[in-house]
């Protein structure tokens, strides 16, 4: 007999299989010797009351053994060297997953990536952190694996299509991720583990006969009579193909400008902007776990917080427990911050975006140019750089000082390696953004006691929460309405917001290409 149950499990026994079995036996009323096995299918932390438990949905096998059923989502490699060629621009999660799906469907992906392979990319990240020098072609957003490689690797998505999500998670596991990501309600890989997984995804694509070009920046599209025929690279090379998936991410400013110059329809899109907030992780643990010393089996705690201020959303974004605030600019004259954490989430700080909804009507010149939201975003990033003395030493202020409109005289210890500049963040942010954050912070402080204390630090600017441009596409064919064979994809086109949703959209575009080429 197989019983499906849900239990609240104490952290004290969560890692002890024998104790867990005894606990299950007590709960279902069957003696331990009759329980052959149990399998946790989904697990989350329930910290709503003082007694914190792991809430687990599980299958219990009574008087019988589990039968291994094959995972229906496994990748089936095949050689596609002589198949029809499809260009995939960008080797982020969308591009890599599009390439793998194209292979499954019998097409040859040619992935074109402006940045470097993960190993070489590491040196450019070191230069950003140590010397404050940003390579516009190789940084935290550009390079193999895209913005996903040196990200936190949170694989949580709002997508409700379990099959789609399971396919993506399976692909990560097949290429080296911990199988627990299938079980955990908030799966996470970690910056230290992602690069090896990206390398394995690359090897899979190459072994099947796909191609990946690095240091290859697309600077033009070859379009004739409304049909996309290929691309031109920065070194003058032209590459032809039967179809093109554009998966260049939300930081490819030059791609949006190119589309606009070529009069290919794009639209301004609402997004969110604000700051990164950093607290000691111990403080967040105390707030979330409601005790001084949480049980060591509990992971560093997470939070998600939102408030409407004067009809505008202010919310936490991409929270990284035990993480690092990272310098994520893609040009030499701007400051952009984001966050990541290693798999163990064992850094002493917790950081999160704290951002404000930016509506189209907030943006000057919105009716004149589809690039208005992009320019609005970029101006704030450039202003932050200038006010920081033309460096990437990011503008920062203690939370209580920010609320009281006082420049901080000293800044607390923090995780941002390039260094900080004490500034009034009101000088950096648009007025409605800083006002909304100022009003929201004390409310968040009531919900999470200590959240708005002077131990907390605000770092600017968190401006790349999603794309400020949408590249339109037909709902069914996924092609651009004006250019056949041209498939705008994932975050850069405005159809995804995170690793898993970008990967899902990459797969969807690959399937749409297959329909088109048939
Ligand atoms: C520090 C950080 C932490 C993050 N943490 C998380 C997280 O924990 N969980 C989560 O879900 N999301 C996270 N994200 C967001 C996530 O990484 C993105 O949503 C995701 O990578 C988007 O995938 P994509 O493939 O659409 O675009 P991208 O990952 O942005 O990839 C686009 C690729 O296109 C390439 N490209 C751009 N222009 C050109 C050109 N002209 N020619 C050739 N190539 C080009 C770029 O170099 C890049 O490699 C984080 C992002 C950052 C920066």
**What 3-state DSSP class applies to 95?**
helix
- Cα distance between residue 445 and residue 196, in whole Å: 39
Q: Which of 116, 120, 147, 459 to mutate to test the pocket of ligand 1 (most atoms within 8 A of CB)?
A: 147
Q: What is the pLDDT of residues 120-145, one digit of tens each?
A: 999 999 999 999 999 999 999 999 99
Residue nearest to atom 46 of ligand 1 (CA): 142
Q: Which residues pair with 285 in a beta bridge?
A: none
Lowest mean pLDDT segment, chosen from 24-28, 76-80, 308-312, 317-321: 76-80
Residue nearest to atom 19 of ligand 1 (CA): 498
CA distance readout (Å), 333 to 28, 336, 337, 388, 393: 62, 10, 14, 11, 12
Residue 6 makes CB contacts below 8 A (sequence gap 6+) with: 55, 56, 57, 58
Instruction: Note the pLDDT of residue 152.
Output: 86
Position of tokens 């074109």? 112
- Cα distance between residue 296 and residue 440, in whole Å: 32
Q: Averaged over 186-192, what is the pLDDT?
A: 94
Ligand 1: residues with CB < 6 A are 89-95, 112-115, 140-143, 146-148, 151-154, 217-218, 247-249, 252, 255, 318, 326, 328, 338, 340, 490-492, 496-499, 502
Q: Could you tell me which of 333, 349, 356 has the C-alpha nearest to residue 462?
A: 356
Look at the alpha carbons of 77, 81, 85, 90 in this order and tell me if their dihedral is positive or negative.
positive
The Cβ-side half-sphere exposure at 154, using a 13 Å CA radius, reads: 21
Question: Does the pLDDT of residue 313 top 90, yes or no?
Answer: yes
Question: Does the pLDDT of residue 293 top 90, yes or no?
Answer: no
**Cβ contact 438:481 at 8 Å:** no
- Going from the Cα of 336 to the center of ligand 1, the distance in angstroms, rounded, reads 14
The backbone region for 50, taken as left when phi is positive above 0, alpha when psi lies in -120 to 50, beta otherwise, is: alpha
Q: Averaged over 169-185, what is the pLDDT?
A: 96
Percent of the chain with pLDDT over 70: 100
Instruction: Note the pLDDT of residue 161.
Output: 74
Q: Which residues pair with 484 in a beta bridge?
A: 227
Instruction: Note the pLDDT of residue 162.
Output: 74
Residue 195 makes CB contacts below 8 A (sequence gap 6+) with: 118, 119, 122, 145, 149, 150
Question: Does the pLDDT of residue 371 top 90, yes or no?
Answer: yes
Question: Does the pLDDT of residue 159 top 80, yes or no?
Answer: no
Instruction: Note the pLDDT of residue 514.
Output: 97
Lowest mean pLDDT segment, chosen from 159-173, 257-271, 347-361, 428-442: 159-173
Instruction: Note the pLDDT of residue 174.
Output: 97
pTM, entire model: 0.97
**What 3-state DSSP class applies to 63?**
coil
Percent of the chain with pLDDT over 90: 94
Q: Could you tell me which of 394, 319, 323 has the C-alpha nearest to residue 354?
A: 319
Question: Does the pLDDT of residue 460 top 80, yes or no?
Answer: yes
Instruction: Note the pLDDT of residue 163.
Output: 72
Instruction: Note the pLDDT of residue 54.
Output: 97
Q: What is the pLDDT of residues 271-291, one digit of tens each?
A: 999 999 999 999 999 999 998
Position of tokens 């940084």? 139
> Which domains are delineated in the chain?
2-62 (3.30.70.2700), 85-266+471-517 (3.50.50.60), 268-462 (no CATH)
pLDDT band at 82 (very low <50, low <70, confident <90, very high): confident
Mean per-residue pLDDT of the chain: 96
Q: What is the pLDDT of residues 143-157, one digit of tens each?
A: 999 998 998 889 988
Question: Does the pLDDT of residue 158 top 80, yes or no?
Answer: no
Q: Averaged over 195-201, what is the pLDDT?
A: 98
Instruction: Note the pLDDT of residue 248.
Output: 98
Question: Does the pLDDT of residue 14 top 90, yes or no?
Answer: yes
**Cβ contact 322:341 at 8 Å:** yes
- Going from the Cα of 250 to the center of ligand 1, the distance in angstroms, rounded, reads 7
- Read out DSSP for 191-256? TTTHHHHHHHHHHHHHHTT-EEESS--EEEEEEETTEEEEEEETTS-EEE-SEEEE---TT-HHHH
Phi, psi of 443 (to 5 degrees): -70, -45
Q: In ligand 1, which atom is closest to the CA atom of 464? A: 53
Q: What is the pLDDT of residues 347-368, one digit of tens each?
A: 999 999 999 999 999 999 999 9
Q: Averaged over 412-438, what is the pLDDT?
A: 98
Q: In ligand 1, which atom is closest to the CA atom of 152? A: 8
Instruction: Note the pLDDT of residue 81.
Output: 84
- Cα distance between residue 247 and residue 265, in whole Å: 16
- Going from the Cα of 491 to the center of ligand 1, the distance in angstroms, rounded, reads 8
């Amino acid at each position: 007999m197989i019983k499906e149950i849900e239990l609240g499990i104490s952290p004290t026994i969560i890692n002890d299989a024998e104790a867990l079995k005894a606990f299950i036996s007590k709960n279902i009323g069957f003696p331990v010797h009759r329980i052959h096995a149990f399998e946790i299918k989904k697990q989350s932390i329930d910290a709503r009351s003082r007694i914190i438990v792991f809430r687990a949905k599980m299958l219990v096998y009574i008087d019988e053994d589990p039968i291994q059923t094959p995972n229906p989502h496994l990748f089936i490699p095949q050689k596609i060297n002589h198949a029809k060629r499809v260009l995939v621009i960008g080797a982020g999660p969308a591009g890599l997953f599009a390439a793998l799906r194209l292979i499954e469907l019998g097409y040859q992906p040619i992935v074109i990536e402006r940045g470097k392979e993960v190993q070489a990319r590491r040196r450019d990240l070191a230069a950003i952190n140590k010397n404050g020098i940003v390579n516009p072609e190789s940084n935290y957003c550009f390079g193999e694996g895209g913005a996903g490689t040196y990200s936190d690797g949170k694989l949580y998505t709002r997508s409700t299509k379990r099959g789609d999500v399971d396919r993506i998670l399976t692909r990560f596991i097949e290429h080296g991720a911990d199988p627990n990501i299938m079980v955990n309600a908030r799966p996470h890989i970690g910056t230290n583990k992602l690069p090896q997984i990206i390398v394995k995804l690359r090897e899979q694509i190459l072994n099947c006969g796909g191609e990946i070009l690095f240091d290859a920046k697309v600077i033009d599209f070859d379009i004739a009579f409304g049909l996309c025929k290929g691309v031109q690279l920065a070194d003058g090379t032209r590459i032809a193909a039967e179809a093109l998936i554009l998966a260049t991410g939300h930081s490819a400013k030059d791609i949006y400008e190119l589309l606009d110059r070529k009069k290919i329809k794009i639209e301004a899109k609402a997004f969110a902007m604000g700051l990164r907030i950093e607290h000691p992780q111990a403080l967040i643990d105390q707030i979330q776990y409601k005790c001084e010393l949480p049980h060591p089996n509990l992971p560093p705690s997470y939070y998600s917080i939102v408030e409407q201020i004067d009809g505008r959303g202010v919310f936490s974004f991409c929270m990284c427990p035990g993480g690092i605030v990272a310098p994520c600019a893609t040009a030499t004259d701007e400051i952009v911050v984001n966050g990541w954490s290693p798999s163990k989430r064992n850094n002493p700080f917790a950081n999160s975006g704290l951002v404000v909804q930016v509506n189209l009507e907030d943006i000057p010149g919105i009716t004149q140019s589809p690039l208005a939201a992009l320019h609005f975003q970029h101006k704030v990033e450039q202003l932050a750089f200038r006010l920081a003395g033309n460096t990437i030493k990011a503008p920062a202020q203690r939370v209580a000082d920010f609320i009281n409109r006082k420049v901080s005289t000293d800044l607390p210890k923090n995780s941002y390696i390039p260094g900080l500049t004490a500034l009034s963040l009101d000088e950096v942010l648009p007025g409605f953004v800083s006002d909304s954050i100022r009003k929201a912070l004390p409310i968040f402080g009531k919900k999470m006691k200590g959240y708005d204390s002077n131990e907390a630090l605000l770092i600017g600017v968190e401006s790349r929460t999603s794309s400020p441009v949408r590249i339109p596409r037909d709902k069914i064919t996924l092609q651009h309405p004006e250019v056949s064979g041209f498939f705008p994809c994932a975050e850069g086109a405005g159809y995804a917001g995170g690793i898993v949703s970008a990967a899902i959209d990459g797969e969807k575009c690959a399937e749409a290409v297959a329909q088109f080429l048939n």
